[in-house]
Amino acid sequence: MAEKDYKEVISKIDSIAQKVYSDLTKAEIPHLNLSTRTKANIRFDDNLNVWKYGKQTTERSAMSLDGAYMLLRTMYLVDFIKEMINQKKSSTLRETYYISEGWNLAKFSSQDESDLLAEDLEVITGCMREDFKLRPEEDGARVIGNLVIEEVTRNNAKKRIHCQDDVGDAGYGIPYNVEKEKLSFKQIDADFVMAIETGGMFDRLVENGFDTDSRAILVHLKGQPARSTRRFIKRLSEEKQLPVLVFTDCDPWSFRIYGSVAYGAIKTAHISEYLATPSAQYLGVTPSDIINYKLPTDTLTPEDIHALKSELDDPRFQDQFWKHEIKLQLEIGKKSEQQALAKYGLDYVTDTYLPEKLVELGLMKK
Amino acid sequence: MKEAVDNALDACEEAGILPDLSVEIRNHESEECTIIVEDNGPGIIKQQIPHIFGRLLYGSRFHAVRQTRGQQGIGISAVVLYGQLTTGKHAQIMSKIAADRPAVVTSLAIDTSKNRGEVVAQEVQHWDKPNGTRIEVTINANYRNGKRFVYEYLQSTSIVNPHARITFKDAEGQTAVFERTADTLPPKCVEIQPHPYGVELGTLIKMAKEAKSRKLASFLKTDFCSMGDRTADAVCQEAQLDRNLNPKELSRDQLAQLHKAFKKVKMMSPPTECLSPIGEMLIKRSLKNETQEISPECIVTASRPPAVFSGNPFQVEVGIVYGGKLPKDKSVRLMRFANRIPLLYQQGDCASTAAIASMDWRRYGFDQPNGVGVPTGPAIFLTHLCSTQIPYTSESKEAIADIEEIENEVRLAFRECARKVQHHINKKVRRVKTREKFDLITKILPEIAKKSAHMLDKPVPSLDKVITRIMDVVWIEDAIEYEKVKRTPGKAMQAKLGTDLAQLKDDGGWITKSSILIVNYKNKPQRFSLYALIPKDAVIGTITPQPTKVTPDYIRWNLESIDPTNKLDVYFELAGLNKGDFDENDLYVQGINPSYVIGADQWEGE
């Protein structure tokens, strides 16, 4: 792996300390500004074709107790990152959280807090988490399909892996770093990428040989997909010009999974252009499918209903298709799972449902 | 037991003795239990014993009215009789009237046909006590059921009788002591003549028969209160009776006319010296003493001035114990008292309960569905009604009747108390917020500065200006400490300003030390006046800096100018108070925008 130049990262990190220091010497209350990371502050970027943060900013100021703690933690975290860069080390987000145990007042009270602050630093500096030598836990998202990947292993050797022949039933595990210096796509013979929410459905499609029969690259999203999984899908789609289909349960949370794959997540809108695949299409299960396929259902919980309503004014879900489907789901008051298709037998999903949907989307002929 | 305790307290007070009571309950195997109540009162001469303990409804006083406990309950003789009827055992009464006289033990039976006590046996015995009375009655009762009530009753009694010490030994042999919190007896109740508005027709007839005056007008003037020449004439005129008639010769009808006329003539209210309230400070002290385990956040009390209903003077005192370990999700606990007697039953029928329920407690931070009913919250509400005539709802004398004047007074008193509680809570919330900011500038901000300087290899910057910008207030913090000093006998003295501490020590008791810290976190120098309220009974000791003005109610300082981030210490000492009497400074400021100040309110004048 080529040694990265961290000079710029260090100067950006120092600029944070510099800002706070100069506030203090100018007798100003120290503060940092960063883009507001909420639904109300994402705008569609026509150039990048993804959703990015708008102009609203949030001030982290030492005026309030919470703000002051935040600034102190920021100081500690940037100091820690600088040290890691200098010592050529890296740590997982979880390790960072535990490291903060030794930071006295600046200690994080939960990992969510430290993860969010790492994201804040990305937003402030425009660097990526990886630049800070911070990495997520291995999330084990996996891939099966007619695809050869070349990965630079920890021994700095290049290794080629065929994602059908060289892997077991669990598939190829996506590493946390999927950038070019680490991973490249060598050979591919497939018609589309299918991103699947649940492990159960992924395994069903593998067992039924859907990847070979339908010439598909199957990617398991494992719920809300990790950055590396989204980046992997994006590179696959862009570099190999493959259409991407997202196949999830039918509930508001699954729609959000699709949103983060296709449009970019609200939390990471500052790096949407790296992670989002604007061409990704939603395959199902849609609320209309619940009716058309007479699927077994559960009643929407109050949380579901609240989430659906919130999606109605989410700028990412404003097109005709989503408006119609979300309203329909609120109307019927039901939700359903991918695996509910087993109502008609184990092969129904590969023999009937998916072919019909692919025809509908124009990816397969009748 | 209740009867015996009430009688004992009355007897001691009348004789000017600080009551020291001991109550013991012994459980027998059968459904019997023995109650023993012993006091250190004046004792009873042996000839009187059968009359006091053996005659039903004996001892009803002449027409003069006065606040006593005795008018409540069924009477001690009824207890003696009940014991005799249910167990066949006689009451044992031991009494000693002086140190050099022997104690007399009387075994007493009641002859119901003659309504008279009969001495079954009487003997002389030695008793260590110089004087006192001890009554032992065995009755048929299940003590276990009433156990909680006995304890509660004694505890409650002790709260409203801070001058009494009560020792309780229960059937299991456990002893509880309710210590006294006051060393002086309540002032003796003065007798007054009945007020015409409050007199019943029957009493009027009896009074007329026994009148010493030969003329109606002078009878009215001497045997009633609030009756002057003019009022007496007005009453006679209204009743169409000649002022020179002999009261003894008046017919029943004529007296009924007179009785009616009373109500139609405007009269002065009865005098109120005849009431013996407990006093705000003493209620607070006893509540504090009895709620120690709860460690409440605050205890506030309020006393209303005396008022009158139908010619009967009365006075309401209330107290609120708030916070601590009291349950937040239960109804407020009510403690009701009348003439220093706890009312344990029929809470729902009581005028004090109705008055509390009719207030909107939500505005004072309590839960109360629809704004009516007894509120929910971590509090105990105490109500004490004292009057020459407690208007009970029924013979059982457990609830006060719904008299509008009384309900109004209860409401006013609780409103005052609730405001104080709310003030206290608001103050606390503000302080917590400021305390947070204080942490911020003293701990977090220096760390931020250190860390950023370290990363850039630069010197740590001065933070004074940033601190004043963040705080932007004048911060006032106070602490109160108590110091025990040697007690030597002597009356409370009126110390003058600047009295030396050593001199105060002679007075004994506790010294209350109040330290106030003022820090200017504004970015400009600040100069203002500070007022500290002091309790009425306190004697002021050392004060620093030199105060500008000292009155019985407050101390005032015109403080020198305080520069940004500088502080100033203010200190004063109080004597003549018990530990904990003064547990919170009440501070006010003048000559500065009050919104700049945390820890004191705007001075609104005296």
Name the residue of chain B whose CA is nearest to A30's CA: B466
Contact B452 A72 (CB under 8 A): no
Q: Within this chain, do residues B108 and B38 fall inside the same structural domain, yes or no?
A: yes
pLDDT digits (tens, 9 = 90+) for A30-48: 888 888 888 888 888 888 8
Of B47 and B408, the one with more pLDDT: B408
- Residue A107 in this model has a pLDDT that exceeds 80: yes
Residue A168 lies in a domain: no
- The whole-angstrom separation of Cα A4 and Cα A130 is 11
- Residue B495 in this model has a pLDDT that exceeds 70: no
Q: Any chain A CB within 8 A of the CB of B57? A: no
CB A259 within 8 A of CB A267: no
Q: Which of A135, A153, A181 is the last residue of a domain?
A: A135
Contact A27 B465 (CB under 8 A): yes
- CB contact residues (below 8 A), chain A span 91-130, against chain B: 104-106
A163-167, A246-250, B460-464, B486-490: the lowest-pLDDT one:
B486-490
Residue A30 lies in a domain: yes
Which residues from A are below 8 Å from B436, CB to CB?
A: 65
Q: Any chain B CB within 8 A of the CB of A305? A: no
- The whole-angstrom separation of Cα B175 and Cα A341 is 75
Position B237 scores a pLDDT of 82
Q: Are strands A183-188 and A147-152 parallel, antiparallel or unpaired?
A: antiparallel
Q: Within this chain, do residues B160 and B63 fall inside the same structural domain, yes or no?
A: yes
CA distance B458 to chain A (A): 9
Nearest CA among B302, B315, B227 for reference residue B272: B315
Question: What integer is the mean pLDDT of B90-111?
Answer: 78
State whether residue B454 is helix, strand or coil: helix
Which residues from A are below 8 Å from B455, CB to CB?
A: 14, 17, 75, 78-79, 82
Contact A21 B463 (CB under 8 A): no
The total of other beta-carbon atoms located within 10 Å of residue B469's CB is 17
The total of other beta-carbon atoms located within 10 Å of residue B433's CB is 12
Q: How far is CA B68 from CA B156, B260, B387, B388, B502, in A?
A: 17, 28, 9, 7, 42
CATH of residue A328's domain is: 3.40.1360.10
Q: Which of B392, B422, B452 is the last residue of a domain?
A: B422
Q: Within this chain, do residues B157 and B215 fall inside the same structural domain, yes or no?
A: no
Alpha helices in B440-528 (DSSP H): 445-456, 464-471, 501-507
Q: Within this chain, do residues B307 and B414 fall inside the same structural domain, yes or no?
A: yes
- The whole-angstrom separation of Cα B468 and Cα B564 is 7
Q: Within this chain, do residues A126 and A232 fall inside the same structural domain, yes or no?
A: no
- The whole-angstrom separation of Cα B403 and Cα B350 is 10
Of all residues in chain B, the percent with pLDDT exceeding 90 is 4
CATH of residue B221's domain is: 1.10.8.50
Question: What integer is the mean pLDDT of A65-92?
Answer: 89
- pLDDT-derived band at B143, boundaries 50, 70, 90: low
Domains contained in chain B, number:
4
Question: What integer is the mean pLDDT of A165-190?
Answer: 89
Residue B451 lies in a domain: no
- The whole-angstrom separation of Cα B204 and Cα B230 is 20
Residue A198 lies in a domain: yes
Contact A65 B445 (CB under 8 A): no
- The whole-angstrom separation of Cα B234 and Cα B444 is 80
Q: How far is CA B463 from CA A33, B449, B534, in A?
A: 21, 8, 38
Q: Within this chain, do residues A127 and A202 fall inside the same structural domain, yes or no?
A: no
Secondary structure element (H or E) that encloses residue A140, with its range:
none
Residue A126 lies in a domain: yes
Q: Within this chain, do residues B373 and B476 fall inside the same structural domain, yes or no?
A: no
Q: For residue A74, report the phi and psi dihedrals to the nearest 5 degrees.
A: -60, -45
Position B59 scores a pLDDT of 42
Interface test with B, best of A25, A69, A100, A104 (most B CBs within 10 A): A25
Name the residue of chain A whose CA is nearest to B523's CA: A27
Q: Which of B119, B150, B178 is the last residue of a domain?
A: B178
A327-341, B182-196, B255-269: the lowest-pLDDT one:
B182-196
- Residue B200 in this model has a pLDDT that exceeds 70: yes
- The whole-angstrom separation of Cα B432 and Cα B410 is 33
- Residue A2 in this model has a pLDDT that exceeds 70: no
Residue B454 lies in a domain: no
Q: Within this chain, do residues A198 and A106 fall inside the same structural domain, yes or no?
A: no
Residue A156 lies in a domain: no
Residue B366 makes CB contacts below 8 A (sequence gap 6+) with: B332, B375, B376, B377, B379
Q: Any chain B CB within 8 A of the CB of A20? A: yes
Q: Within this chain, do residues A200 and A338 fall inside the same structural domain, yes or no?
A: yes
Q: Within this chain, do residues B172 and B202 fall inside the same structural domain, yes or no?
A: no
Q: Within this chain, do residues B312 and B362 fall inside the same structural domain, yes or no?
A: yes
Contact A17 B445 (CB under 8 A): no
Question: What integer is the mean pLDDT of A171-176?
Answer: 89
Residue B328 lies in a domain: yes
Q: Within this chain, do residues A100 and A226 fall inside the same structural domain, yes or no?
A: no
- The whole-angstrom separation of Cα B542 and Cα B537 is 16
Position A334 scores a pLDDT of 94
Nearest CA among A281, A205, A290 for reference residue A245: A281
Nearest CA among B512, B530, B523 for reference residue B569: B530
Please give the full DSSP string across B415-438, using - where no structure is assigned: HHHHHHHHHHHHHHHHHHHHHHHH
- The whole-angstrom separation of Cα B568 and Cα B562 is 7
CA distance B444 to chain A (A): 7
Contact B456 A63 (CB under 8 A): no
Question: What integer is the mean pLDDT of B10-32?
Answer: 73
Which residues from B are below 8 Å from A28, CB to CB?
A: 466, 469
Q: Which of A135, A166, A198 is the last residue of a domain?
A: A135
> Which of A62, A79, A105 is the closest to B470 by Cβ?
A62
- Residue B80 in this model has a pLDDT that exceeds 80: no
Residue B272 lies in a domain: no
Which residues from B are below 8 Å from A105, CB to CB?
A: 443-444, 447
Interface test with A, best of B436, B455, B521 (most A CBs within 10 A): B455
CA atoms B402, B345, B334, B581: torsion sign: positive
- The whole-angstrom separation of Cα B278 and Cα B161 is 8
Q: Which of A102, A135, A168 is the last residue of a domain?
A: A135
Question: What integer is the mean pLDDT of B173-202?
Answer: 76
CATH of residue B339's domain is: 3.30.230.10
Name the residue of chain A whose CA is nearest to B433's CA: A65
A183-197, B36-50, B331-345, B568-582: the lowest-pLDDT one:
B36-50
Position B57 scores a pLDDT of 46
- The whole-angstrom separation of Cα A285 and Cα B525 is 69
Where does residue B135 rank: exposed (0-12), middle (13-18), buried (19+ CB within 10 A)?
A: buried
- Residue A343 in this model has a pLDDT that exceeds 90: yes
Name the residue of chain A whose CA is nearest to B438's CA: A65
- Residue B60 in this model has a pLDDT that exceeds 60: no
Nearest CA among B398, B344, B389 for reference residue B71: B389
Name the residue of chain B whose CA is nearest to A20's CA: B452
pLDDT digits (tens, 9 = 90+) for A288-319: 999 999 999 999 999 999 999 999 988 889 99
Q: Within this chain, do residues B328 and B372 fall inside the same structural domain, yes or no?
A: yes
Range of the domain at A339: 189-360
Residue A280 lies in a domain: yes
Gyration radius from chain A CA atoms: 22
- The whole-angstrom separation of Cα B239 and Cα B237 is 5
A133-137, B68-72, B592-596: the lowest-pLDDT one:
B68-72
Gap between the terminal Cα atoms of chain B: 48
Contact A17 B443 (CB under 8 A): no
Q: Within this chain, do residues A224 and A353 fall inside the same structural domain, yes or no?
A: yes
Residue A141 lies in a domain: no
Nearest CA among B205, B196, B332 for reference residue B269: B196
Question: What integer is the mean pLDDT of A185-213?
Answer: 93
Position B604 scores a pLDDT of 80
Position A185 scores a pLDDT of 94
- Residue B494 in this model has a pLDDT that exceeds 70: no
**In DSSP terms, which residues pair with B168 in a beta bridge?**
B23, B176
Q: Any chain A CB within 8 A of the CB of B454? A: yes
Name the residue of chain A whose CA is nearest to B453's CA: A21
> Which of A30, A75, A105 is the closest to B443 by Cβ?
A105
Interface test with A, best of B434, B451, B460, B521 (most A CBs within 10 A): B451
Q: Are strands A244-247 and A192-196 parallel, antiparallel or unpaired?
A: parallel
The reply to whether A98 belongs to the active site is yes
Residue B355 lies in a domain: yes
Q: Any chain B CB within 8 A of the CB of A18? A: yes
Which residues from B are below 8 Å from A76, CB to CB?
A: 451
Q: How far is CA A21 from CA A26, B7, B454, B472, in A?
A: 9, 78, 10, 21
- The whole-angstrom separation of Cα B215 and Cα B221 is 10
Range of the domain at B358: 292-422
- Residue A366 in this model has a pLDDT that exceeds 70: no
Q: Within this chain, do residues A115 and A213 fall inside the same structural domain, yes or no?
A: no
Q: Within this chain, do residues A225 and A347 fall inside the same structural domain, yes or no?
A: yes
Q: For residue A165, report the phi and psi dihedrals to the nearest 5 degrees.
A: -80, -30
Question: What integer is the mean pLDDT of B275-284?
Answer: 81
Q: Within this chain, do residues B147 and B227 fall inside the same structural domain, yes or no?
A: no
Q: Within this chain, do residues B256 and B382 fall inside the same structural domain, yes or no?
A: no
Q: How far is CA B56 from CA B59, B78, B343, in A?
A: 9, 6, 23
- The whole-angstrom separation of Cα B96 and Cα A140 is 94
Residue with tokens 């939390």: A267
Domains contained in chain A, number:
2
Q: Within this chain, do residues A206 and A97 fall inside the same structural domain, yes or no?
A: no
Contact A24 B461 (CB under 8 A): yes
Q: Within this chain, do residues A94 and A241 fall inside the same structural domain, yes or no?
A: no
Residue B165 lies in a domain: yes
Position A1 scores a pLDDT of 42
- Residue B311 in this model has a pLDDT that exceeds 80: no
- Residue A213 in this model has a pLDDT that exceeds 80: yes
> Which of A20, A29, A82 is the closest to B470 by Cβ?
A29
Position B488 scores a pLDDT of 47
Q: Any chain A CB within 8 A of the CB of B451? A: yes
CB A20 within 8 A of CB A73: no
Residue B527 makes CB contacts below 8 A (sequence gap 6+) with: B559, B560, B561, B562, B591, B592
Mean pLDDT of chain B: 79
Q: Within this chain, do residues B588 and B493 fall inside the same structural domain, yes or no?
A: yes
> Which of A18, A20, A68 is the closest to B440 by Cβ?
A68
Question: What integer is the mean pLDDT of B545-569?
Answer: 89
Q: Residue A253 corresponds to which tokens in the numbers above? A: 């949370």
Q: Any chain B CB within 8 A of the CB of A10? A: no
Residue B278 lies in a domain: no
**In DSSP terms, which residues pair with B513 in a beta bridge?**
B481, B573
Which residues from B are below 8 Å from A78, CB to CB?
A: 455
**In DSSP terms, which residues pair with B175 in a beta bridge?**
B169
Which residues from A are below 8 Å from B443, CB to CB?
A: 105
The total of other beta-carbon atoms located within 10 Å of residue B600's CB is 25
Contact A24 B458 (CB under 8 A): no
Name the residue of chain A whose CA is nearest to B432's CA: A65
Residue A173 makes CB contacts below 8 A (sequence gap 6+) with: A138, A140, A141, A142
Gap between the terminal Cα atoms of chain A: 47
Highest mean pLDDT among A269-273, B85-89, B251-255: A269-273
Which residues from B are below 8 Å from A82, CB to CB?
A: 455
In this predicted complex, what is the ipTM? 0.73
Name the residue of chain A whose CA is nearest to B462's CA: A25
Position A276 scores a pLDDT of 92
The total of other beta-carbon atoms located within 10 Å of residue B487's CB is 12
Alpha helices in B161-279 (DSSP H): 201-209, 216-223, 229-239, 252-264
- The whole-angstrom separation of Cα A204 and Cα B216 is 113
- Residue B325 in this model has a pLDDT that exceeds 60: yes
Residue A239 lies in a domain: yes
Q: Within this chain, do residues A209 and A351 fall inside the same structural domain, yes or no?
A: yes
Name the residue of chain A whose CA is nearest to B466's CA: A27
- pLDDT-derived band at B491, boundaries 50, 70, 90: very low
Q: Within this chain, do residues A49 and A126 fall inside the same structural domain, yes or no?
A: yes
Q: Within this chain, do residues B118 and B229 fall inside the same structural domain, yes or no?
A: no
Q: How many CB pairs below 8 Å do chains A and B form together? A: 74
- The whole-angstrom separation of Cα A58 and Cα B296 is 42
Contact B451 A14 (CB under 8 A): no
Highest mean pLDDT among B70-84, B272-286, B373-387: B373-387
Peptide linkage before B327 cis (omega within 30 of 0): no
Position B4 scores a pLDDT of 66
- pLDDT-derived band at B496, boundaries 50, 70, 90: very low
Which residues from B are below 8 Å from A24, CB to CB?
A: 448-449, 452, 461, 463, 466
Position B68 scores a pLDDT of 61
- pLDDT-derived band at A284, boundaries 50, 70, 90: confident
Residue B191 lies in a domain: no
CATH of residue A27's domain is: 1.10.10.10
Highest mean pLDDT among A211-220, B79-88, B576-585: A211-220
CB B366 within 8 A of CB B332: yes
A323-327, B106-110, B502-506, B600-604: the lowest-pLDDT one:
B502-506
- pLDDT-derived band at A280, boundaries 50, 70, 90: very high
Q: Any chain B CB within 8 A of the CB of A65? A: yes
- The whole-angstrom separation of Cα A171 and Cα B62 is 106
- The whole-angstrom separation of Cα B75 and Cα B519 is 63
Q: Any chain A CB within 8 A of the CB of B423? A: no
- Residue B484 in this model has a pLDDT that exceeds 90: no
Active-site annotation holder among A98, A176, A344, A353 = A98
Of B396 and B562, the one with more pLDDT: B562
Of all residues in chain B, the percent with pLDDT exceeding 70 is 87
Beta strands in chain A (DSSP E): 31-35, 42-45, 50-53, 57-61, 91-92, 134-135, 142-144, 147-152, 158-162, 172-173, 183-188, 192-196, 216-220, 244-247, 281-284, 298-299, 334-335
Position A153 scores a pLDDT of 85
> Which of B439, B447, B456 is the closest to A21 by Cβ?
B456
> Which of B439, B453, B470 is the closest to A63 by Cβ?
B470
CATH of residue B583's domain is: 2.60.40.290
